Amino acid sequence: MSEMSFEQMLEDSLKTIRNGEVVEGTVIGVKPEEAVLNIGYKADGILTRNEYSNDPVDLTTVVKVGDKMDVKVVKVNDGEGQVLLSYKRLQAEKGNKRLEEAFNNHEVLKATVSEVLSGGLSVVIDEAKVFIPASLASDTFEKNLNKFKGQEIEFVITEFNPRRRRVIGDRKQLLVAKKAELQKELFAKIAVGDVIEGVVKNVTDFGAFIDLGGADGLLHISEMSWGRVDNPKKIYKVGDTVKAFIKDINDTKIALSTKFEDENPWKNASERFAVGNVVTGKVARMTDFGAFVELADGVDALLHVSQISKEHIEKPSDVLSVGQEIEAKIVGFVEEEKKISLSMKALLETEAPAKEADADDSDVADVNIDEVAASLEDEQ
């Protein structure tokens, strides 16, 4: 047997490797952009940071000399006698196995959104990517998906095809199921008349939708205040906490109100606004036939154009302006219809005999209440 050279014996003692093989290596050198591994082969292996992770990383912060790690051989000879290695591809294979198990078992996964794409979200499980389409990212339409960037979310795998690099996640069905459970719990414990707190979810021209934790309640514009509300957006904004009571429940629809009875301005109104009382108020709005005067929040009274002055007045705006404070005498009060009639003229008629004054007041009440009843109902 001929003697073998030292180089031949050394080469025979080293293992052979193939592309795609998984080998164990020991880090013998590391720089921010690459690490060198001894893999027991005649040439050392090179692991670049692009093959370490999908995320940009400084390799000196994640590996150190002496570390042992399993890697995958990408190319035995890169043309310069070096072996190219990959850590992320091996992890991705492990991640795909993890995703396949989750797909088969309908398991709920949790991961941080790593990327926001034009059509949805991308998350990574052990270097394996999952795509969550925009339509499956939420149970409501999301105009701006960037809000999810860096957020940890839960989802399930609904499609798994790694060969086509098609792994689809679904967050929507979890949200829908959770909302259904919360809704069931909510309706089991609430009843008409209950006082409840919620958070404003959306504000429209006709009211505000309040998230009650399982279902939304509608606080209609007419139930926001005992007074007049022209624009709900001037009262509420998204995120506000609202205390209200349940006025009605119809199937899954909840009607709310903040018009608590103990705050009803018409309480004791028969005493406060009795015929003959002199009151002050502010002109809230005007029509051709008269002005509506706010005596308190939620209490408006009609000052008919004929009762503004002794002189003939064509229309209220000729002598009055919105926001003006006036003093007048109550000449009509119908509690069940919440109608009050005023007269400024009655305060000027102090020289008239008491009997005639009483008769005038009676006539005024008839004019103001009966002739403009329909208009009052529309306004109030």
What are 94-125's pLDDT values in tens digits?
888 999 999 999 999 999 999 999 899 999 98
Residue 113 domain flag: yes
What integer is the mean pLDDT of 149-173?
Answer: 92
Residue 106 domain flag: yes
Q: Return the pLDDT at 337.
A: 87
Distances (CA, A) of 317 to 152, 329, 369: 61, 20, 21
CB hemisphere CA count around 259 (13 angstroms): 20
**Domain boundary, last residue among 225, 241, 262:** 262
Q: Return the pLDDT at 10.
A: 47
Q: 43 and 142 share a domain?
A: no
Quote the tokens at residue 28: 């013998």
What integer is the mean pLDDT of 278-307?
Answer: 92
Residue 91 domain flag: no
Residue 41 domain flag: yes
Q: 104 and 72 share a domain?
A: no
Examine the pLDDT at 376 and tell me if it is beyond 80: no
Range of the structural domain that residue 305 is part of: 269-379
**Owner of token pair 């398991």:** 107
Q: 258 and 273 share a domain?
A: no
Neighbours of 342 (CB within 10 A): 31
Kindly state the percentage of the chain with pLDDT values over 70. 87
Q: 105 and 28 share a domain?
A: no
What integer is the mean pLDDT of 218-230?
Answer: 90
What integer is the mean pLDDT of 71-93?
Answer: 86
CATH number for position 77: 2.40.50.140
Q: Return the pLDDT at 222.
A: 92
Q: Return the pLDDT at 62.
A: 94
Answer whether 275's CB lies under 8 Å from 346's CB.
no
**Domain boundary, last residue among 262, 277, 301:** 262
Burial of 140: CB neighbours in 10 Å, binned 0-12, 13-18, 19+: exposed
d(CA 69, CA 162): 25
What integer is the mean pLDDT of 131-141?
Answer: 93
Phi, psi (deg, nearest 5) at residue 378: -65, -40
What integer is the mean pLDDT of 272-291?
Answer: 92
Q: 33 and 102 share a domain?
A: no
pTM beyond 0.75: no
Residue 139 domain flag: yes
Examine the pLDDT at 1 and tell me if it is beyond 50: no
Please state the domain count of the chain.
4
Q: Return the pLDDT at 379.
A: 47
Among the listed residues 89, 63, 64, 91, the one whose alpha carbon sits nearest the alpha carbon of residue 75: 89
Examine the pLDDT at 145 and tell me if it is beyond 60: yes
What integer is the mean pLDDT of 206-213?
Answer: 95
Among the listed residues 126, 123, 127, 124, the one whose alpha carbon sits nearest the alpha carbon of residue 136: 123
**Owner of token pair 């013998």:** 28
Q: 23 and 43 share a domain?
A: yes
Least trusted range by pLDDT, from 175-179, 316-320, 350-354? 350-354
Residue 92 domain flag: no
**Domain boundary, last residue among 144, 174, 204:** 174
Residue 179 domain flag: no
Q: 372 and 285 share a domain?
A: yes
What are 357-373's pLDDT values in tens digits?
444 444 443 444 444 44
DSSP for 27-68, written as a single string: EEEE-SSEEEEE-SSSS-EEEEGGGT-SS---GGGT--TT-E
Examine the pLDDT at 292 and tell me if it is beyond 80: yes
CB hemisphere CA count around 28 (13 angstroms): 12
Where does the pLDDT of residue 6 fall: very low under 50, low under 70, confident under 90, or very high at 90 and above? low
What integer is the mean pLDDT of 154-182?
Answer: 92
Residue 226 domain flag: yes
Q: 144 and 64 share a domain?
A: no
Helix (H) or strand (E) holding 175: helix 172-189
Among the listed residues 3, 52, 15, 13, the one whose alpha carbon sits nearest the alpha carbon of residue 30: 52
Q: 276 and 371 share a domain?
A: yes
User: How high does pLDDT run on average in the chain?
Assistant: 86
Where does the pLDDT of residue 380 fall: very low under 50, low under 70, confident under 90, or very high at 90 and above? very low
Q: Return the pLDDT at 118.
A: 86
Among the listed residues 278, 277, 276, 307, the one whose alpha carbon sits nearest the alpha carbon of residue 290: 307
